[in-house]
Amino acid sequence: MNPLDLLTEPLQYDFMLRALAATSLAAVVCALLSCWLVLIGWSLMGDAVSHAVLPGVVLSYALGLPFALGAIVFGILAVVLIGAVRDSRRVAEDAAIGIVFTTLFALGLVLISVTPSHTDLGHILFGSVLGVSRGDLVQIALLAAIVLVLLLMRRRDLTLYAFDPTHARAIGLSPRRLGALLLGLLAVTAVVALQVVGVILVVAMLIIPGATARLLTDRFSRMLLIAPTFSVAASAAGILLSYWLDAASGGLIVLVQGTLYALVHLFAPRYGLLARHRVWRGDGSEGSVSSGAASSADGSAATGSSETTGFSETTGVAVPTERQAPPVSDAQIASVAERPSGTAPLDPTSDTSSASENSGPSRTSSSAPTTMP
């Protein structure tokens, strides 16, 4: 088979084109929002909101309403409940998130089991992107457009809130309102991605793109470009693989994203594991060289070695050179001349006090330097 057929053959079917369109929209929105979630540290909050929308989706199907309506209502309800439990000051934020989202998710599972429906509601949990209709695609496009417009309009305020809420408050912004806006957009985004990968795996599309971009750059503006590009490419690859492997589309989308994150985590040029290992080894070798040089210098000073280290201009390598003796003063020469025969010769590096001990009182004091020039 021609390798080009691997790309063109799936595109001959309308359901594959709709699946790629829906996946691309969800990938862009989730990736952009994931940059702020990763920066603030709201990964667990994304998990909570994405799971908490399940009861709303089931009730919407049961009442014949658009599933997005119920999902948004329960997503906002989850945020309010988390804030209420956290404000009790007896329960930490992570514990409040765990309590609320597991309870709401369990409620959704119970509603699925007891709600009579001609539609298999299991696709809410695991996604059914290949079954997206034209109406669903329009709904996903409208919700994605709303999220994109709000993120682009308030991107500066949200970025300042993510980096420094105190500074945002000082210049007149309300961190509470910005946080509420971000959580509301999170609930809508979870609804957008729900039909692509299901409630269970929505959190992966909300976290992995931003985390991957964070390893590749230090600039937030570049993160906003890298994350959507990475997410769309991984999502399209997952859709195509699901066609050829006859496997679950949502699972393969997340699996491709996770695999690419693992590769970036290993081979990122600055923050990858291999790059940090090279830096660590370089620092270790430099430390050993400097400590060895310091030890040899201390040893030479302690033993009075007559060699020191010089620098060769031809080879550029440090080489040992002979240490020059300090100059001998006239007083030391006169002291040697007057010394009785049979006494030990004068060491040019010794001072006049040692010479006077061997030859008796000296007429003059030595002015020879005591340190090597």
Query: How far is CA 71 from each of CA 121, 188, 199, 251, 304, rounded to the nearest angstrom?
Result: 14, 8, 11, 22, 82
Which tens digit of pLDDT belongs to each residue from 170-224?
A: 998 888 889 888 888 888 888 888 878 888 788 889 999 999 999 999 899 899 9
> Quick check: is 91 in a domain?
yes
Domain count across the chain: 1
Query: How far is CA 251 from each of CA 124, 146, 152, 241, 309, rounded to the nearest angstrom?
Result: 13, 27, 30, 11, 64
User: How many CB atoms are closer than 10 A to CB 172?
Assistant: 6
CA angle 233, 258, 250 (to 5 degrees): 70
49 vs 121, higher pLDDT: 49
Cross-strand bridge partners of residue 308:
321
Look at residue 306 and tell me whether its pLDDT is greater than 50: no
Which tens digit of pLDDT belongs to each residue from 142-173?
A: 989 999 999 999 999 999 998 888 998 999 88
> Quick check: is 359 in a domain?
no
Q: Which amino acid is at 284?
A: G
Hey, what are 251's tokens?
């699972």
Question: Which pTM was predicted?
Answer: 0.70
Domain that holds residue 227: 13-275
Cβ atoms of residues 41 and 94 within 8 Å: no
pLDDT band at 326 (very low <50, low <70, confident <90, very high): low
Look up the CATH number of the domain holding residue 21. Answer: 1.10.3470.10
Dihedral over alpha carbons 156, 161, 163, 165 (to 10 degrees): 140
Look at residue 225 and tell me whether its pLDDT is greater than 90: yes
Hey, what are 98's tokens?
């765990």
> Quick check: is 61 in a domain?
yes
> Quick check: is 223 in a domain?
yes
Which tens digit of pLDDT belongs to each residue from 229-282?
A: 999 999 999 999 988 888 888 889 999 999 999 999 999 888 888 888 777 776
> Quick check: is 97 in a domain?
yes
Tell me the torsion sign for CA atoms 154, 72, 29, 261.
positive
> Quick check: is 324 in a domain?
no
State residue 332's pLDDT score: 55
Mean local confidence (pLDDT), 81-92: 75
Q: Which amino acid is at 133?
A: S
Share of the chain above pLDDT 90, in %: 22
> Quick check: is 29 in a domain?
yes
Hey, what are 200's tokens?
């269970």
Backbone angles phi, psi at 320, to 5 degrees: -75, 135
Please give the span between the terminal C-alpha atoms of the chain, in angstroms, as a whole number.
Answer: 80
> Quick check: is 174 in a domain?
yes
364 vs 227, higher pLDDT: 227
